[in-house]
Amino acid sequence: MDKTARIFVAGHRGMVGSALVRRLQADGYIHVLTRTHAELDLLDQAAVRRFFSDERIDAVLLAAARVGGILANATQPADFIYQNLAIETNVIHAAYEAGVTRLVFFGSSCIYPKTCPQPIEETYLLSSPLEPTNEPYAIAKIAGLKMCEAYNRQYGTKFVALMPTNLYGPNDNYDLRTSHVLPALIRKAHEAKLHGDNVLTVWGTGSPRREFLHVDDLADATVFVLEREVTGGLLNVGVGTDLSICEIAHQVAQVVGFDGQIVFDTSKPDGTPRKLLDVSRLAGMGWRARIGLREGIETTYREFVARFDKEREHALPGWR
């Protein structure tokens, strides 16, 4: 990619989008285009088409999405499937119409079947039923990556789909109603320490295993794909190792400094038993994650404290 390329980062205020902007700017890309929701509603097809017709865009990083954890997926399934399908179809088709040939679409490891073999290869997609708790979101993301494949096949575009494992890092979402497991654990452990609680309650049995990727590593993989002219296909992005939720909870407690008891609420759902990605395809191209989990949790926790501790009652819904 030429450093003067005009790269549109859709969803630049989110965790993934903001990491992409930081990385591109640090690497010397001088035309990183962003739009707030107020400036461009990606659910508005006509507005998206006008935007692409007015701007000379060379590449698109489609990080905009409706995302959330088990609770959010369970209570807002219609929002998850509609909004994600609308964003994907509007942006991908408008990019094609405007002559954009390079696009990176970001999905999630939840696109894979609930009980497929581990580690999960890209070829396991659609081989058996999905996890019911996030099926609407997963179906939307599968549609997006299949749309990229279809446009490549019919129109000769170079649209790539990256499927990251569980992400965490700067600018994460810590709202317990919509957050994923790691930021939720960070916030709950911090609250428990702050209020002198003796018990930290974690959803589920603690037995499911999860793999965690720092969002800056995902940004690094994205630039790797762009600069090496990867022209299509589905690529897993992860670290290649996983831990149980129980192990993650204890590691977070150590970093935060919570020394009470960790208990598991088995009345709450576990979700998929295991999601470990096979990352051999990207590794074969020469890319591997660099940020260790302990290091990543420590830097993420420091960012969490800096953002929210001083004005927690106003910044975070549900603070006691």
Active site residues: 137
Give the separation between CA 88 and CA 137, rounded to whole angstroms. Answer: 12
User: Which SS3 state, helix, strand or coil, does residue 225 take?
Assistant: helix
56: which 2 tokens? 């000379």
User: Which SS3 state, helix, strand or coil, does residue 277 take?
Assistant: strand
**Cis ω before 164 (30° cut-off from 0):** no
All residues at 6 or more sequence positions from 123 whose CB lies less than 8 Å from its CB, including other chains: none
Give the separation between CA 276 and CA 166, rounded to whole angstroms. Answer: 10
| Ranges assigned E (strand) in the chain | 6-10, 31-33, 59-62, 102-106, 158-164, 166-168, 199-203, 209-210, 212-214, 233-237, 243-244, 261-265, 274-275
User: How crowded is residue 155: how many other Cβ atoms within 10 Å of its Cβ?
Assistant: 10
195: which 2 tokens? 């209020």
